[in-house]
């Protein structure tokens, strides 16, 4: 970036330095497109500064803030253009997610995507503005930055010239690549997975490129994890500066670190996590206080060690969060911190930030304190131990838990009351199983089954939600900034459709005057145990919008919470680290003995919120993709098998079936059903045969045959074993 400065001539205020921000401000003041020469005249610059201005104009175009038009430039926002990341869907269309998190996503038709790929930073011109909740429509006018510099590819065959024909493993990239080897020592064979750096476009369906690394055979789970990490730009190595900073930290807190902290090392704090967990960022303690309770939630004080702007901080912000895979983890911090100094391991002193909540006999929090402390975890417990010893009362486990058993029983008592309070205010809990992938000793998948959940998991969730709400209130009551976790209200049209659908067969289901979390919770409860329970849970989940981060408090719809933030996982979520710093800033403002902490401004918080929300989406997408890949690999040798399942989603081209025997989902396409022509009835979530009247509905049991397990498309293809047995006459459904 050019750094020329204009000389000040004569008295008067100092002339601001020439910078891209100065150039951008001129465009906003003039309020019309300008050529480079006009910009120079407006700034009253000399000709010798022409090259510097040209460089800055180019930089602003690269950033998406200016648009190049003929021989001039115009403000992107004034020309109805937005800058953001392109997310392409399986159907070929896409959405541009704006950098400004306050703007809505822009729909991009497949024909208007141009040369852009999924994940690219693009400029999109708005071609149609829609009213209400509908997304505006646009077209990609410029690719600012490729989201991926290298692509995982599958090698298909060797060409006559010695190059290799490859195809990206991401189904959303519908083109081939003719690639040479960047290094002759690289050995690949058809069917292998490699990394490829794309070059120039040859034609609409083909690019050139170079194979830069060999990953391995596509049947290897570790290879599948590696390509998913590459697909989602997940960083695999820590920069030397971050590693050096981590290595320079002590093994244990020093006496200087303990200054100004409450000593809670004699209290019965414990950690409760999964059996395979290695980083422990939260510990809990519950005590009786008269007829009420005191809940202590201690969270690793990562902010004490990782200061803003340091190499570790910059790398953690870039990553945004930790990334979890079936056989590996890419942590937000190096293991020296995440599994060592900042992990609340048992029998060692650890620095924490504590939320101490005093609750009445009903479990309602009446008073909250937040402060720095030092604790010494008394035990590293697992969910399984809580289940066996506290919930099921197994004698052997209770004996093993004896030193902390009475505290744990009190914790369960309080957690049940907090859960009851949350339920009564309308907090939503969907009864949908999560997949758990089990591996054999060779690392191959042996089963994919529902993850077992019990109140031991719920206990920790209730306490973490309580602490997150308490900290959000702590900051808002002091009128200080907070990085809130917000969840917008659900899609109203989808909810109305659900109420209409249920009301057609159950007169007791009536559309509420106002669709609140409480109204939805009552609906879930009314259908529990009925044949409609599956339909209600699925359709409600699809109506939910995605939660995100924002400095503006819009509440959390799903939790029915007025103030909510993320405070309890600073080892694996950067948003929590931001909140810790905000809390420390608040404490320092009140107590001079606390170290001062700069409080970030609103604009900075918006930028951080947008970036973190984007990295969270990447983590969620990566998790979904690896589960699909493992599922397809697991089912590949089961083609031809017959399975029972339930219809989980209906479209105008077929329906998805969720299997009962294994946690896998695939599609029955209408093109495979030759007994009739079927029409999609979206208002009733049904497919109905035009001639026979046979119908398929959401939640209906079916029997299917696995016809194909495709890694290229990341999907299972089914056919119905017997249409007559699977379908019902549509008259029964009206």
What confidence tens digit (pLDDT) does each residue in 477-533 have?
999 999 999 999 998 888 888 888 888 777 888 888 888 999 999 998 888 888 788
In this structure, CATH architecture of domain 20-75 = Orthogonal Bundle (1.10)
Lowest mean pLDDT among 293-297, 338-342, 413-417, 596-600: 596-600
Strand ranges (E), 314-363: 323-324, 329-330, 349-359
pLDDT digits (tens, 9 = 90+) for 687-731: 999 988 899 998 899 999 999 999 999 999 999 986 544 444 444
Task: Tell me if residue 663 falls in helix, strand or coil.
Answer: coil
Position 70 scores a pLDDT of: 65
Class of residue 392 by CB neighbours under 10 A (exposed 0-12, middle 13-18, buried 19+): exposed
**Residue 79 pLDDT class (50, 70, 90 cuts):** low
Backbone angles phi, psi at 378, to 5 degrees: -85, -20
Residue 732 scores a pLDDT above 60: no
Q: Terminus-to-terminus CA distance in the chain, angstroms?
A: 67
Lowest mean pLDDT among 119-123, 335-339, 379-383, 720-724: 720-724
Position 29 scores a pLDDT of: 81
Enter the pTM of the model.
Answer: 0.86
**Residues β-bridged to residue 262:** 373
Residue 714's nearest CA partner among 634, 629, 638 is: 629
DSSP 345: -
pLDDT digits (tens, 9 = 90+) for 274-328: 998 888 999 999 999 999 999 999 999 999 999 999 999 999 999 999 999 999 9
Position 7 scores a pLDDT of: 44
Q: Cα(348)–Cα(378) distance, rounded to whole angstroms?
A: 9
Residue 391 scores a pLDDT above 50: yes
**Residue 101 pLDDT class (50, 70, 90 cuts):** low
Q: Which residue has the tokens 């509420």?
A: 512
Determine the CATH number of domain 81-145: 2.40.50.140
- The larger pLDDT score, comparing residue 40 to residue 86, is at 86
Q: Cα(485)–Cα(382) distance, rounded to whole angstroms?
A: 27
Residue 248 scores a pLDDT above 60: yes
Q: What is the maximal distance between C-alpha atoms in the chain? A: 93
**Residue 59 pLDDT class (50, 70, 90 cuts):** confident
Query: In the structure encoding, which two tokens stand for residue 538, read together?
Result: 């699925």
Position 10 scores a pLDDT of: 46
Query: In the structure encoding, which two tokens stand for residue 514, read together?
Result: 């106002």
Backbone angles phi, psi at 467, to 5 degrees: -70, -40
Mean pLDDT of 344-355: 97
Mean pLDDT of 553-582: 97
DSSP 92-148: S-EEEEESSTTSPPEEE-GGG-TT--TT-EEEEEEEE---TTSPPEEEEEEEEE-S-
Residue 6 scores a pLDDT above 50: no
DSSP 282-298: EEEEEEEETTEEEEEEE
CB 229 within 8 A of CB 323: yes
Q: Cα(13)–Cα(450) distance, rounded to whole angstroms?
A: 69
Residue 239 scores a pLDDT above 80: yes
Give the DSSP H or E segment for 422. helix 405-425
Position 596 scores a pLDDT of: 64
Same fold: 81-145 with 639-733: yes
Backbone angles phi, psi at 650, to 5 degrees: -120, 135
Position 547 scores a pLDDT of: 95
Backbone angles phi, psi at 601, to 5 degrees: -80, 170
CATH class given for the domain over 639-733: mainly beta
Q: What share of the chain is helix, strand, coil (3-state, %, to 5)?
A: 35, 30, 35
Mean pLDDT of 546-557: 95
Query: Considering the chain, what percentage of its residues have pLDDT values greater than 70?
Result: 94
- The larger pLDDT score, comparing residue 166 to residue 684, is at 166
Q: How far is CA 171 from CA 89, 507, 569, 672, 710, in A?
A: 10, 44, 33, 22, 11
531 Cβ contact partners less than 8 Å away, ≥ 6 residues apart: 699
Lowest mean pLDDT among 10-24, 158-172, 191-205: 10-24
Position 13 scores a pLDDT of: 47
Average pLDDT, the chain: 89
Position 621 scores a pLDDT of: 92
| Domain regions of the chain by residue span | 20-75, 81-145, 151-218, 240-486+550-624, 492-544, 639-733
Mean pLDDT of 582-604: 79
Task: Tell me if residue 658 falls in helix, strand or coil.
Answer: strand
Mean pLDDT of 544-573: 96
Any idea which fold 151-218 has?
A: OB fold (Dihydrolipoamide Acetyltransferase, E2P) (2.40.50)
> How large is the C-alpha radius of gyration of the chain?
29
């Amino acid at each position: 970036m050019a750094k020329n400065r204009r000389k000040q001539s004569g008295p008067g205020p100092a002339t601001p330095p020439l910078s891209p921000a100065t150039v951008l401000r001129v465009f906003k003041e003039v309020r019309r497109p300008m050529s480079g020469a006009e910009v120079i005249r407006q700034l009253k610059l000399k000709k010798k500064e022409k090259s510097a201005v040209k460089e800055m104009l180019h930089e602003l175009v690269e950033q998406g803030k200016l648009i190049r038009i003929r021989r001039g430039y115009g403000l992107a926002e004034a020309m109805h253009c937005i800058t953001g990341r392109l997310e392409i869907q399986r159907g070929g269309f896409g959405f541009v997610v704006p950098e400004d998190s306050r703007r809505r996503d822009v729909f991009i038709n497949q024909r208007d995507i141009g040369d852009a790929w999924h994940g690219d930073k693009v400029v999109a011109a708005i071609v149609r503005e829609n009213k209400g909740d509908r997304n505006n429509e646009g077209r990609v006018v410029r690719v600012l930055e490729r989201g991926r510099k290298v692509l995982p590819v599958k090698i298909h065959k060797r060409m006559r010239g010695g190059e290799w024909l490859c195809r990206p493993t991401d189904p959303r990239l519908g083109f081939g690549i003719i690639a040479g080897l960047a290094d002759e020592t690289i050995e690949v064979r058809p069917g292998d997975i490699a990394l490829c750096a794309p070059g120039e476009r040859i034609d609409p369906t083909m690019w050139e490129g170079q194979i830069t690394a060999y990953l391995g055979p596509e049947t290897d789970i570790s290879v599948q994890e590696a390509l998913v990490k590459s697909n989602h730009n997940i960083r695999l190595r820590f920069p030397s500066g971050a590693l050096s900073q981590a290595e320079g930290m002590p093994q244990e807190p020093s006496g200087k670190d303990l200054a100004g902290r409450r000593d809670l090392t004699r209290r019965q704090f414990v950690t409760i996590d999964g059996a395979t967990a290695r980083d422990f960022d939260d510990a809990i303690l519950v005590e009786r206080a008269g007829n009420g309770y005191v809940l202590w939630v201690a969270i690793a004080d990562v902010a004490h060690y990782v200061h803003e702007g340091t190499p570790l901080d910059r790398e953690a912000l870039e990553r945004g969060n930790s990334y979890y895979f079936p056989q590996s983890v890419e942590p937000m911090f190096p293991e020296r911190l995440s599994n060592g100094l900042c992990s609340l391991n048992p029998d060692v002193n650890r620095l924490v930030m504590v939320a101490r909540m005093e609750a009445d006999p009903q479990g309602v929090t009446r008073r909250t304190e937040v402060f720095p402390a030092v604790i010494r975890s008394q035990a590293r417990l697992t969910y399984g131990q809580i289940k066996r010893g506290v919930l099921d009362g197994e004698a052997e486990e209770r004996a093993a838990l004896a030193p902390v058993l009475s505290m744990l029983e009190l914790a369960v008592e309080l957690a049940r009351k907090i859960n009851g309070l949350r339920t009564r205010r309308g907090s939503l809990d969907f009864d949908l199983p999560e997949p758990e992938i089990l591996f054999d000793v060779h690392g191959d998948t042996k089963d994919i089954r529902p993850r077992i959940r019990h109140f031991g998991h719920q206990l920790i969730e209730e306490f973490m939600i309580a602490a997150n709400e308490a900290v959000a209130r702590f900051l808002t009551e002091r009128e200080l900034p907070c990085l809130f976790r917000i969840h917008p209200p659900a899609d109203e049209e989808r909810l109305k459709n659900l109420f209409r659908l249920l009301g057609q067969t159950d007169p007791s289901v009536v559309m509420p005057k106002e669709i609140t979390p409480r109204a939805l919770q009552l609906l879930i409860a009314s259908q529990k145990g009925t044949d409609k329970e599956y339909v209600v849970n699925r359709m409600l989940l699809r109506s939910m919008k995605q939660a995100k981060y924002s400095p503006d408090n819009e509440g959390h719809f799903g939790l029915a919470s007025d103030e909510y933030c993320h405070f309890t996982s600073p080892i694996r979520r950067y948003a929590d680290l931001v909140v810790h710093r905000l809390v420390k800033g608040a404490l320092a403002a009140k107590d001079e003995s606390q170290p001062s902490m700069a409080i970030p401004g609103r604009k900075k918080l918006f930028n951080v919120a947008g970036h973190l929300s984007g990295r969270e989406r990447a983590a969620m997408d990566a998790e979904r993709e690896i589960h699909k890949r493992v599922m397809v690999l697991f089912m590949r040798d089961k083609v031809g098998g017959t399975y029972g399942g339930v219809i989980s989603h209906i479209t105008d081209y077929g329906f998805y079936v969720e299997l009962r025997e294994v946690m896998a989902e695939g599609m029955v396409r209408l093109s495979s059903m030759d007994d009739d022509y079927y029409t999609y009835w979206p208002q009733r979530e049904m497919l109905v045969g035009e001639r026979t009247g046979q119908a398929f509905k959401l939640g209906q049991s079916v029997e299917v045959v696995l016809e194909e397990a495709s890694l290229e498309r990341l999907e299972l293809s089914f056919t119905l074993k017997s249409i007559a047995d699977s379908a019902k006459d549509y008259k029964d459904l009206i």
